Structure formats: structure tokens, C-alpha cells
Amino acid sequence: MKERIREQSIQLFAKKGFKETSIQDIVDALKVTKGTFYYYFSTKEQLLNDIHLQYIDDLLNKQEDIINHPSKNSKMKLHEIVYMLISDIEKQGQSALVFFREMRNLSEENLKLIVPKRDQFRLNIQQLIEHGIEKEELRSDLPVDIVTLSILGMTNWSYFWFDPNGRVNDKEVSEIFLKIVLEGLEK
Amino acid sequence: MKERIREQSIQLFAKKGFKETSIQDIVDALKVTKGTFYYYFSTKEQLLNDIHLQYIDDLLNKQEDIINHPSKNSKMKLHEIVYMLISDIEKQGQSALVFFREMRNLSEENLKLIVPKRDQFRLNIQQLIEHGIEKEELRSDLPVDIVTLSILGMTNWSYFWFDPNGRVNDKEVSEIFLKIVLEGLEK
Amino acid sequence: MKERIREQSIQLFAKKGFKETSIQDIVDALKVTKGTFYYYFSTKEQLLNDIHLQYIDDLLNKQEDIINHPSKNSKMKLHEIVYMLISDIEKQGQSALVFFREMRNLSEENLKLIVPKRDQFRLNIQQLIEHGIEKEELRSDLPVDIVTLSILGMTNWSYFWFDPNGRVNDKEVSEIFLKIVLEGLEK
Amino acid sequence: MKERIREQSIQLFAKKGFKETSIQDIVDALKVTKGTFYYYFSTKEQLLNDIHLQYIDDLLNKQEDIINHPSKNSKMKLHEIVYMLISDIEKQGQSALVFFREMRNLSEENLKLIVPKRDQFRLNIQQLIEHGIEKEELRSDLPVDIVTLSILGMTNWSYFWFDPNGRVNDKEVSEIFLKIVLEGLEK
DNA sequence: AATGAATGAGCCTTCATTCAT
DNA sequence: AATGAATGAAGGCTCATTCAT
């Protein structure tokens, strides 16, 4: 039941927003009552925190699996992370939407746990790029942090427009992204 | 007073969110009373709509000024648009934040006016790139719409992290963005 | 202007109710501003009181004109009063509606002036009937006050349904009423 | 609790009017809180609608019981309906007051259900009179609809003045009404 | 585990009224 | 005579949360 509440809430938060979704909305959708909700979650924010943690933990795990792979170079790993992010939209894009959009509804307390993980995800990419520079796979004349943020901008923004059933699929989008970022648009 | 309410509201909406900001918060900050608010705005959503319109109209104007300039090529114009967006963060970054984040709080009715303008901004960039391809300034083997969205992702996402007083200034950030996008990261 | 405000208010009060009509509604309909309203009336209730007084005074005047006529008998005078009430609906039925329906919005203070006049109107009819009984025009075995109230019920209620442009006109309605009251329905 | 809210509201609506009675007034009188009110009724109008429906349904039921009685003539049935209405004042006169006075506070939507029932009640009386005319119990030279409305005027108006504890009781008032209507006042 | 009645704080909005000009 | 900005109290309604069962 706890899992069902979490899933349903992600759908509703993604569609209507955290504040705009009432506990009543959630329990109505599950055909249970408010008491049930409060049996599993102490507050509404607690639920949001749960969703955030689950999402970022899962993402970090997947990222580390990719990074720790021994026999691949940095460019390949970067490619895989971008693909992982884009392909994730189909499976749990709504979690991502909630993650990006509703973080401000968490208390200071809860943010202390989430923000470092979010930063970790970014820093992992940054290290990957630094590694690529060391190995002379990538150019060295640009500030790595800004480069990282530009790549994350591309991918994160796609949560707002990417349509898994659209003309261009997840694999193609991540390849286009990589081509732009690695090769550039200039002729 | 109408302008003061708008300004103050942008600050608060950016900081706390639209739903999370009460009319009381707004009028308290201005040391007036709720009646005053409703003398100038018929509803809270009306105010949000005002803010959206003002922002996107201003943006479209600036963009068209750049695009209509006769003696510059597509790459230069693209550079100027990106710089315009980044440098804007300092002056009205909070408007942008509100624009991106709170659009879902507008009614169908109001969205009908805003969404086409937002799309127009994107399509203008897309046409610029198509122009650059025709003139053989830019490579032609990537889908232009996705390319456009990737650039917008980069720039729009910077609203969440760019600090005008940080280590790297607006001019530098936009140059880095352009280098990545045009030249690529590969060595 | 004072008169225009009064007229417009009667229309609006009749249509939407006293509480449901705002000062703004009134001044909007007259294309003036709220300041103007408060130049002529000190409060909203003051206006309502004015309307009540004007209506009941006018009614009492008309009634006394009829009653004081020397050469008519009680039945004829009763007939004329009933006709006066019904035909009034066309000219100032909305005032009557407001009078009956909105009296509860007057303060104790103001009621002290209105209620005695309303009672006077009823007592005048009662005396007329008593006169008719004395003159042996009317039967004497029924309590005069109840009889009076039953006639007033008939006429007052017609404010809710009588349509001056309907199948049966004011003259006919008052004749029917008199026939029922005087002759009865029995065959 | 739902029933208690309904009862208390009828008292207050009758005394002060629908618009003039706040939810706060209602819950204060019951020593509960506003939340409780909205647990049972979705809006204030919903409550008013409930009250209307309950009243008119009850009235229609009673009326039909009388009309469907096999062994009585039209005059007797008319008498019983009038008596039913007057005697009802003691038990639920306040409901009647609310019914007559506050109908305009219902939305179009809700009126669609109420108005036909109110009309049905009138038409049932009208048919009763038509029946009486056919059976030659009643005179046939007056328009039946106006006659019906005049009788309803008498009875309905009594809600504004009839005092169950007054000099004349419900039985007597209804007998007086019937005598006037059937026999007339003329000597 | 789950229900459902009840709470209370807070929200958006309305509106009669005031007052300087 | 009339305006228009501003007030402040009150109203209808929402909703996260509590708690006895």
C-alpha cells in the first residue's frame, strides 16, 4: 500500500503539482481513506521526501554502475549517462519532474539530505569530464563546472518536452545531444 | 502601486512559488492591505498572467531586435540571443523563473495567449539555425528542432544556477555555451 | 442624481436582492463612481430605508384618497384598493417586491418608522370592512382581522406572479379577486 | 450531525435570511467548527437546496395523500389542503418561509429540480378545482388558474403573520379561509 | 490496518465605507 | 459634486492533520 500511495502521488504531483494535490485527491484515486494515508506517512512532506530520496538514490546507483565500468572511456560513459537520463523519462519521467519542480516544498531539514546527493550526481559527471580531459579525449580550455551544467541543462530540460512516443526516440535524442556536445554544430 | 505589486510578487513567487505565496504575503511586504491588491488585480491568477505576458513580450521584442539586424550572420545572432538570455538573469531572472515554473497555474484561457508566444520564441531560434544551415555556416545532419531544444535547455537551465556575482560572468558563460555548441568538446 | 440612484437601485434590488447588490453594481449601472453614491446616501441601508418610505407613503396616500371619497360604499372602495394594488405592479411592482422582501435588512431604528405605516395600511382596510359590516353590506360572522389578512394575502402574493402583459390584465385580476372574496366560489 | 446542521440552518435562515447567515453563525450555534459543516455539505447553496427539496417533497407527499383519498369531494379535499398548509406552519413554518423567500439564492441548475415541483403543487390544486367545477360543486365562470393563485396567496401569505399560539388557531384560520373562498363575504 | 468524524488555521475574494483631492 | 485610491472586516471554502474506534 505504501508503494501504491507513492506511485499514485507521483502521477498526481507531476500532473497537478505538490501544493495543488490534496491528500484527498491521492486517497480518492486509490479508493481508500485519509486514515490510511496517515498510517503510512506522517505528513505530506514526508511523502514528498520519500519520493525525492527514492528517485535520486536510484539515479545515483545507475550512474555509479556506469562510471565504475572498467573497460570504457569517458566519452562512452558520458554517452551512457545521457542515454540513461533520457530513456528514464519514459519509465519514471514523472518522478524526475517532481524532483526538479517540487524540491522547494521540502523543509531545510529534508533538503540537507537531498541536496548533497543531487550535487553528487553533478560532481560525478564533472569528474568524468575531468578524466576525459586528462586522458586527452576532451578539450581542456573550458571550465569544467560550467560545461557540466550545460550538459545537465540539455538533459534535464528534455523532461519538459521529450515525448517517448514522438518522432525521435530516446536513443536518437541522446545521440544528437552527444554529437552537439562533442563535435559541435559548426560545419 | 500596480507596478510595485507586480515587482514584489515576482520576488515572492520566485522565492516561494505561486501557490505558496499568499496575497497576504504580498501586501504585508508592501505594507498595504488586501483591499489594495484587489483594487489593481481582479484575481491572483490575473497577476500571474500579467507577469507572464510582460516577460514573454519583452523577451520576444529583444529577440526580434537581434534577428532583424541586417549585417550579422546566423552564428553571431545566435550568440547574441544566448548572451541576451544569460545577461537577462541578472536583471529579471526571477521573472524568468516564475515564467518557467508557474505556467501551470494559468487557466486554459490565459494559456492560449502565452503558449503561442513561448513557441514563437523557440521557432525564431529554429529558423535562425535553419538559416545558418542554408548559408552553410552550420552542419545539416541533425534535426533542427531537437538542436534548438538542446540550446534552450542549456540556457534556460542556467536560470537555476547562474549567479551574476559568481566566478564566471554572463559574458563568459554565453561564450562557453557557444563554444560547446559550435565547436564541441572533442579534442 | 439622487432620484436616479434610487430608481436604479430598486431595479437591481428587485432583480438580485439587497445583499446581493453591491454599491459597485449600482454606480456601474449609472456610470458614476462610488464617491457619488456616498455623496447622496450615508449608508446602503439609508438608501433602502428611503425606498421603503417612499413606497409605503405613496401607497398610503393613494389608499386614503380612495377611502376619503364621500359617495362610494365599502365594497366599491375595497374594489378600488385591490385594483390600485394590482395595477401598481405594472408601474412600481419592483418597489413592492423590495418592500416585502428586503424589510429584514432594515435596522430596528428604521423599522420603527416603517412598520407602523405598513400596519396602518392594513388597519385602514380592516376599518373599511368593519364599515361594510355595519352598513350590512358584508357578513358579520367572520373575524375582521383574519379576513383582512386573507385579502392582503391574495393581492400581495400577486406581486410574485402577476404579469402585466399576460393573458389576464390588472382590471380583470382585481375583478376576479373581488368576485371570489365577495361572492365565493360555490355554485 | 447533518440533520442538526439542517435544522439549525432553517432557524437561522428564517430569522436572518440566507445571505445574512454565515457558515460561522451556523456552526457557532451548534458549537462545532466550519470544517464540520463542509464535511457534510459541499457548499452553502447545497444546504439550501437540500432544505428546499426536503420541504417541497414532503409537501407534495402530503398533498397527494389528500388528493388520492377516494371517498371525498373536491371541496373537502381543498379544505384539507388549506388546513394542511396552515397547520404545517407550526411544525415547519420556518422551512416554508425559507422556501418562499430564499429560492432566488439557488442556481439555475438547482432550480431546474425545484421549480417543477413547486409548479406541480399549484397544478394539483388547480386540477382539484377543475374537478369541482365538472362535478358542479363550484362555479365555472372564473379562470381556474387565477382562482388557484388567489387561494395560494391567502395561505402562503399566512406564513408571514400566522401565530400558532395566537387568538385564532390553525383549524379556525383554515375554516375562515374556506368560508371566504367558497361562500364569499357578501351578505 | 483502516475508517470517518472533527478541527483549526489559512486562503482567496468581496464589499461597505472613508478620505484626500 | 464627484473621483479614485485605500482600508479592514467578514465571508465561503480548502486542507493537512488528529483521534477514537
Chain A residues closer than 8 Å to B136 by CB: 187
pLDDT at residue A187, as a whole number: 67
DSSP count for chain A of H helices, then E strands: 8, 0
Q: b/e per residue, C109-132, with b = 16+ CB within 10 A? A: ebeeebeeebeebeebbbebbbbb
C22 touches strand E (CB under 7 A): yes
Count other Cβ atoms within 10 Å, centred on residue B187. Answer: 13
* Residue-wise burial string across C44-54, b where 16 or more C-beta atoms lie within 10 A, e elsewhere: beebbbbbbeb
Nucleotide nearest to B30 (CA to C1'): F6
* Cβ neighbours of C175 (radius 10 Å): 18
pLDDT of B187 above 70: no
Q: Are D11 and D94 in contact (CB under 8 A)?
A: yes
Measured distance CA(C21)–CA(C28) in Å, rounded: 11
C175–D contact, CB cutoff 8 A: no
Residue D81: closest CA among D187, D168, D181, D8: D181
The whole-angstrom separation of Cα A42 and Cα A51 is 14
Dihedral (Cα; A175, A176, A181, A184), 10-degree rounding: 130
pLDDT, position A184: 82
Residue B39 neighbours by CB under 8 Å, 6+ apart: none
Collapsed DSSP state (helix, strand, coil) of residue B5? helix
Q: Which residues of B touch A137 (CB under 8 A)?
A: 186-187
Nearest residue in chain D measured CA to CA from C150: D154
Average pLDDT over residues B17-43: 93
Contact between chains at B187 and A157 (C-beta distance less than 8 A): no
| pLDDT 10s digits, A138-174 | 888 999 999 999 999 999 999 888 888 889 988 899 9
Residue C39 CB closer than 7 angstroms to strand E?
Answer: no
Residues 6+ apart with CB under 8 A from B138: A185, A186, A187, B74, B75, B129, B132
Tell if the CB–CB gap between B157 and A157 is shorter than 8 Å: yes
Report chain D (187 residues): mean pLDDT per 10 consecutive residues. 93 92 94 93 95 94 92 88 89 86 90 95 95 90 93 92 90 92 80
In whole angstroms, F17 C1' to A34 CA is: 10
- Tell me the CA–C1' distance in angstroms for A40 and E1: 10
pLDDT at B123: 96
Q: What is residue C185's predicted lDDT score, i.e. its pLDDT?
A: 74
Span CA (A35) to C1' (E3), Å: 6
Residue corresponding to grid cell 547562474: B162
Reported confidence tier of residue C100, pLDDT bands at 50, 70, 90: confident
pLDDT of residue D22: 95
Question: What residue ranges in D49-185 does DSSP mark as E strands?
Answer: none
C150: nearest CB among D138, D147, D154: D154
Q: What is the pLDDT of residues A45-83, one digit of tens each?
A: 999 999 999 999 999 999 999 999 887 888 899 999 999
Instruction: Give, in order, the Cα–Cα distances in Å from A116 to each of A16, D28, D162.
Output: 27, 50, 77
CA distances from D108 to A48, C20, D20, D111, D115 (A): 42, 16, 21, 5, 10
Instruction: Specify whether the backbone of D17 is left (phi greater than 0), alpha (psi in -120 to 50) or beta.
Output: left
Distance (Å) from CA C36 to C1' F1? Answer: 8
Per-residue H/E/C for B128-165: HHHHHHHCCCECCCCCHHHHHHHHHHHHHHHHHHCCCC
The phi and psi torsions of C22 (rounded to 5 degrees) equal: -95, 160
User: Can you give the pLDDT at residue C1?
Assistant: 87
Instruction: Find the distance separating the first CA and the last CA of chain A, reported in whole Å.
Output: 56
Q: Which of A140, A161, A183 has its CB closest to that of B149?
A: A161
| Residue matched to cell numbers 497577476 | B47
Q: Which three cell numbers stand for residue C97?
A: 417586491
Asked if the C-beta of B175 comes within 8 angstroms of chain A's C-beta atoms, the answer is no
B20 and chain A in contact, CB less than 8 A: yes
Cβ atoms of C137 and C73 within 8 Å: the answer is yes
Residue B118 and residue A126 in contact, taking contact as beta carbons nearer than 8 Å? no
User: Which of the 8 DSSP states describes residue C138?
Assistant: B
Residues of B in contact with A186 (CB under 8 A): 75, 137-139, 182-183
In the predicted model, what is the mean pLDDT of chain A?
90
CB-CB under 8 Å, C17 with D150: no
Q: Which amino acid is at A133?
A: I
Q: Which residues of C touch D140 (CB under 8 A)?
A: 187
- What are the tens digits of pLDDT across the range A81-138? 999 999 888 787 788 889 988 998 998 889 999 999 999 999 999 999 999 999 888 8
Helices (H) and strands (E) in chain B, counts: 8, 0
Q: What domains can be seen in chain C, in order of their start residue?
A: 1-41 (1.10.10.60), 44-183 (1.10.357.10)
pLDDT category at B72 given cuts 50, 70, 90 is confident
Residue C114's Cβ-side half-sphere holds a number of Cα atoms within 13 Å equal to 22
SS3 D69: coil
Q: How many residues does chain A have?
A: 187
Is the Cβ atom of B23 within 7 Å of strand E at any atom?
Answer: yes
Cβ separation of A186 and B138 shorter than 8 Å?
yes
CB pairs under 8 A between A and B: 117
Say if residue A13's pLDDT is above 70: yes
H helix count then E strand count, chain C: 8, 0
Separation between Cα atoms, residue B90 and residue A75, nearest integer Å: 34
**D 37-76 residues with CB below 8 A of C?**
75
Distance CA B98, CA B32 (A): 23
Position D187 scores a pLDDT of: 67
**Chains with ≥3 Cβ pairs under 8 A against D?**
C
- Across chain D, how many H-helices and E-strands are there? 8, 0
Instruction: Name the residue facing C173 among D146, D183, D185 (closest C-beta).
Output: D146
Q: Is-contact C180 D184, C-beta < 8 A?
A: yes
Residue C46 CA to E14 C1' — how many Å? 21
Q: What are phi and psi of B73, to 5 degrees?
A: -90, 175
The whole-angstrom separation of Cα B150 and Cα A151 is 9
Task: Check CB contact of C168 with chain D, cutoff 8 Å.
Answer: yes
**Percent share of chain C, pLDDT over 70:** 99
Q: On chain F, which bases lie within 7 A of the protein's CB atoms?
A: 1-20
Residue with cell 447622496: C40
**Collapsed DSSP state (helix, strand, coil) of residue C186:** strand
Please give the nucleotide, over all strands, whose C1' is closest to the CA of residue A2. Answer: E1
The string over B167-177, giving b where at least 16 C-beta atoms fall within 10 Å of a residue's C-beta and e elsewhere, is: eebbeebbbbb
CA–CA gap between residue D185 and residue C150 (Å, rounded): 12
Q: Do B153 and A153 touch (CB under 8 A)?
A: yes
For chain B residues 137-156, those near strand E by a CB cutoff of 7 A are none
**Alpha carbons D156 and C159: distance in angstroms, whole number:** 13
C-alpha cell at position B11? 520576488
Asked if C touches B (at least 3 Cβ pairs < 8 angstroms), the answer reads no
Q: How far is D175 from chain C (nearest CA, A)?
A: 10
Q: Please, what is the Cα angle at B56 between B52 and B58, to 5 degrees? A: 120
Touching subunits of B (3+ CB pairs, under 8 Å) are: A
**Beta-carbon contacts of residue C151 (< 8 Å; ≥ 6 apart):** C78, C82, C125, C177, C181
**Residue D163 · residue D64 · CB < 8 Å:** no
Put simply, the answer to whether D137 touches C20 (Cβ < 8 Å) is no
Tell me which of B92-106, B148-162, C46-60 is least confident: B92-106
